[in-house]
Amino acid sequence: MMEISKLLEGVFIDGSWRAAEAGLLTTEEPATGRVLARIARGGEADVAAAVSSARRAFDQDWGQWTAVERGRVLTHFASLIQTHHEALARTECADTGKPLTQARNDITATARYFEYYGGAADKLHGETIPYQSGTTVVVQREPFGVCGLITPWNYPAQIFGRTVGGALAAGNTVVLKPAEEACLTVLRLTELAAEAGIPPGVLNVVPGLGHEAGVAVASHPDVDHLSFTGSPVAGTAVAQAAAANHVPVTLELGGKSAQLVFADADLDMAAEVIVRAIVQNAGQTCSAGSRVLVEASARDALVARLDRIMSGLVCGPGIDDHDCGPLINAAQKTRLENMLERGRSAGMSVLAQGHVAPDAPDGGHYVPPMLVTGVPPDHEVAREELFGPVLTLFTFTDDQAAVELANATDYGLVTGLWTQDAYRSIALPGRLRSGQVFVNNYGAGGGVELPFGGMKRSGYGREKGFEGMKSFTTMKTVTFSHGQ
Ligand code: NAD
C-alpha cells in the first residue's frame, strides 16, 4: 500500500482528522489493479458534523475575514502546493493512473487556481443602479454560506482547485465530498490548506461513497449551495436533492465533444491536437474531443495523419510516463469494451490504434488509443460518453451538415473548430450548442481563467475563471432612501 500519512485515513472536520463512523474503504491502483490505500468511509453523521463546523466557521471566523485576508491565505496555499509539487504529482499519478507529466501539469494548475482565486478575492465588486430620485441602490455580492462540493476521480486535484478556490475566495466555507475511486491528493491538499493558515472549519473533507456521504452532502438542509462535478445520472440525483431544499446547484457533467475539421484547416496541427486531447487522461476527461467530424474531401488526409500519430502511441503505467495511462478501474474498462463490442456488431471498424506496453502489469486497466468509424450516428458509441481513449470519425459535406452533426448529441460541453476561413470561424461558434468553442486549438480540461460548463446534458452553471467565483456568490439589493 502507498505510504501516506495514517491521519489521512480519516475525515477532516473542524481542523482535525478523525475516524469516520463507518470505518474505512480501500482504493485501487489503476496501473496494477492492486490495493493502493485506505480512505475514510464517511457517512451521514460525519457530514452533519462537517456542516456544523462549516456553519460555525462561516458565522464566527471566515465570514468576518476581509477579502484581502482571504486572498492572501489562498495565495500562500498556492505557493505551498508548489513547494510540494513533485510529491503531489506522484500521488495523483499513482491514484488516478495518469502519466506523470499530466499529473505534474494538474498540480501546476491546482496551484494556479489558488493563485488566481487568491488574487481575485478582493476584486469582486458590486454595482449601483440608477433608480428613483432620492434613492441609492447598491447590489452587493455575498457568499452563500456553506457550500457542498461533490467531485469526481478523473481530475481530483484540479477540480479541488477550481471548486475550493472559487468557493473560499468568495467567502464561503466548504464541505467537500471527493470521489471514492481517487482522492489521496485531495486529502494531502487538505492537510496543506490547514498548514497554509486556512482556519479550522473553513474546509471540511468527508471522503466516502456517493450513495452515502455524497447523498448526505447533497441533501443536508443546512448546505446553502451545491457544486457537483460528475456523471449526468448522479447530477440528476444531486439536482433533485437541491430542489427539495431550494438551494442553487452548479452541475458540471459529462460530454461528447466534437472536433469539427474543415478541409481548409491546418490538418497537421489539427491531428496533433485532436490526438493529444483524447489521449489525455486516457480519454477520461469530461471535455475530451471524442467525435472527429471531418469534411468529406479532407477525410483521407486527416485519417492518414491521425493514423501516423496514433499507431505510435504507447499505453502503460503512469509512473513510466507513457502517452496514455490505464483506465481508472476494471468496471470502466469492461463498460468501454462492451460498448465497443456492440459498436463492432453495428458495423464499427478500427482505422488506427496504438498499443499497450509489453511490460504493462496484467492487473492494470489498459485500453490502447484508437480511431473508429462506421457506427450509425444514433449508436451509443456515437452518442454516449465512452470515457476511454477512443475517437469516433464521421464526415460532413457543408457547414449546415457540420453544425447539425456537432449538435447531434444530448451533451453540449466543448467544440473544437478547425478552419482557416475567417467568416466560418466567427459565424459558426454561435450556432454550436456547447459551453466552450476552441477555434484552431483545443484545451481538454484546461484554462484556469476560462469560464467552463455545459449546455443540455452537460449541465448548467459555470466554474473556473472569474465567472466561476461569481457562481459561489448570491446578490443582495440594498435600497437607501435619502430624500434628495
Ligand atoms: P460520478 O457521478 O459517479 O461521481 C462523481 C461524484 O459524485 C463522486 O464523488 C461520487 O461519490 C458522487 N456521487 C455519486 N452518486 C451520488 C449521488 N447520488 N449523490 C451525491 N453524490 C453522488 O462520476 P465519476 O464517475 O466520478 O466521474 C466521471 C463523470 O464526471 C463523467 O461523466 C465526466 O464527464 C464527469 N466530469 C465532468 C467534469 C466537468 O467539469 N463538466 C469534469 C470531470 C468529470
> What pLDDT digit, counting tens, does each position of 216-228 carry?
999 999 999 999 9
Look at residue 197 and tell me whether its pLDDT is greater than 90: yes
Q: Is 435 in the pocket of ligand 1 (CB under 6 A)?
A: no
Measured between alpha carbons, how far is 479 from 252 in angstroms, rounded to an integer?
35
pLDDT reported for residue 216: 98
Q: How far is the CA of 230 from the centre of ligand 1 (A)?
A: 2
* Count of Cβ atoms closer than 10 Å to residue 292 Cβ: 28
- Sign of dihedral through CA atoms 381, 383, 387, 391? positive
What value does the mean pLDDT of the chain take? Answer: 96
Q: How far is the CA of 296 from the centre of ligand 1 (A)?
A: 36
pLDDT reported for residue 483: 87
Phi first, then psi: what are they for 35, rounded to 5°?
-65, 135
Q: Is residue 202 within 8 Å of 57, Cβ to Cβ?
A: yes
Question: What's the fold here for domain 258-447?
Answer: Aldehyde Dehydrogenase; Chain A, domain 2 (3.40.309)
Grid cell at residue 22: 463507518
Atom of ligand 1 nearest to the CA of 153: 26
pLDDT reported for residue 445: 65
286 belongs to the catalytic site: yes
Neighbouring-strand partners of residue 26: 38
pLDDT tens digits, 153-165: 999 999 999 999 9
Look at residue 26 and tell me whether its pLDDT is greater than 80: yes
Grid cell at residue 54: 462549516
What is the average per-residue pLDDT within 174-198? 98
pLDDT tens digits, 204-251: 999 999 999 999 999 999 999 999 999 999 999 999 999 999 999 999
Measured between alpha carbons, how far is 404 from 305 in angstroms, rounded to an integer?
25
Tell which residue, 357, 359, 366, 361, has the closest CA to residue 329.
366
Parts of the chain belonging to CATH 3.40.605.10: 6-253+461-477
Atom of ligand 1 nearest to the CA of 178: 9
pLDDT tens digits, 317-363: 999 999 999 999 999 999 999 999 999 999 999 999 999 999 999 99
What is the average per-residue pLDDT within 79-91? 98
Q: Is 370 in the pocket of ligand 1 (CB under 6 A)?
A: no
Among 9, 29, 115, 252, the active-site one is 252
Parts of the chain belonging to CATH 3.40.309.10: 258-447
- The model's confidence at residue 8, banded by pLDDT at 50, 70 and 90, is confident
212 belongs to the catalytic site: no
pLDDT reported for residue 456: 97
pLDDT reported for residue 165: 98
Tell which residue, 234, 265, 261, has the closest CA to residue 391.
261
pLDDT tens digits, 103-150: 999 999 999 999 999 999 999 999 999 999 999 999 999 999 999 999
Mutate to test the pocket of ligand 1, among 150, 160, 257 (most ligand atoms within 8 A of CB): 150
Phi first, then psi: what are they for 28, rounded to 5°?
-110, 150
Contacts of residue 318, Cβ cutoff 8 Å, sequence gap at least 6: 30, 31, 93, 94, 96, 97, 98, 99, 100, 102, 103, 325, 326
DSSP readout, 335-375?
A: HHHHHHHHHHHTT-EEEEE-EE-TTS-TTS-----EEEE--
Q: Using CA positions, which residue lies closest to atom 20 of ligand 1?
A: 214
Contacts of residue 348, Cβ cutoff 8 Å, sequence gap at least 6: 340, 372, 373, 374, 375, 379, 381
Among 93, 286, 315, 324, the active-site one is 286
E strand map for 24-172: 24-28, 35-40, 127-129, 135-143, 146-150
DSSP readout, 133-193?
A: TTEEEEEEEEE-SEEEEE--SSSHHHHHHHHHHHHHHTT-EEEEE--SSS-HHHHHHHHHH
Contacts of residue 68, Cβ cutoff 8 Å, sequence gap at least 6: 121, 122
pLDDT reported for residue 484: 73
CATH number of 6-253+461-477: 3.40.605.10
pTM, two decimal places: 0.97
Measured between alpha carbons, how far is 386 from 393 in angstroms, rounded to an integer?
14
Q: Using CA positions, which residue lies closest to atom 13 of ligand 1?
A: 210
Q: Using CA positions, which residue lies closest to atom 43 of ligand 1?
A: 286
Structure-model confidence comparison of residues 192 and 5, the more confident one: 192
Which string of b and e fits 141-167 if b means at least 16 CB within 10 Å? bebbbbbbbbbbbbbbbbbbbbbbbbb
- The model's confidence at residue 7, banded by pLDDT at 50, 70 and 90, is low
Identify the residue whose cell numbers are 469494451.
Answer: 337
- Give one word for 208, left, alpha or beta, with left for phi > 0 and alpha for psi -120 to 50: left
Half-sphere exposure of 110 (CA within 13 A, CB side): 31
Neighbouring-strand partners of residue 12: 17, 205
Grid cell at residue 282: 486516457
Q: Is 212 in the pocket of ligand 1 (CB under 6 A)?
A: no
pLDDT reported for residue 2: 55
Asked which of 5-19, 181-195, 369-383, 402-416 is least confident by mean pLDDT, the reply is 5-19
pLDDT reported for residue 163: 98
Q: Is residue 391 within 8 Å of 306, Cβ to Cβ?
A: yes
Q: Is 214 in the pocket of ligand 1 (CB under 6 A)?
A: yes
Q: Is 286 in the pocket of ligand 1 (CB under 6 A)?
A: yes
Q: Is 154 in the pocket of ligand 1 (CB under 6 A)?
A: yes
Q: How far is the CA of 30 from the centre of ligand 1 (A)?
A: 18
H-helix or E-strand containing 63?
A: none
pLDDT reported for residue 5: 58
pLDDT tens digits, 27-77: 999 999 999 999 999 999 999 999 999 999 999 999 999 999 999 999 999
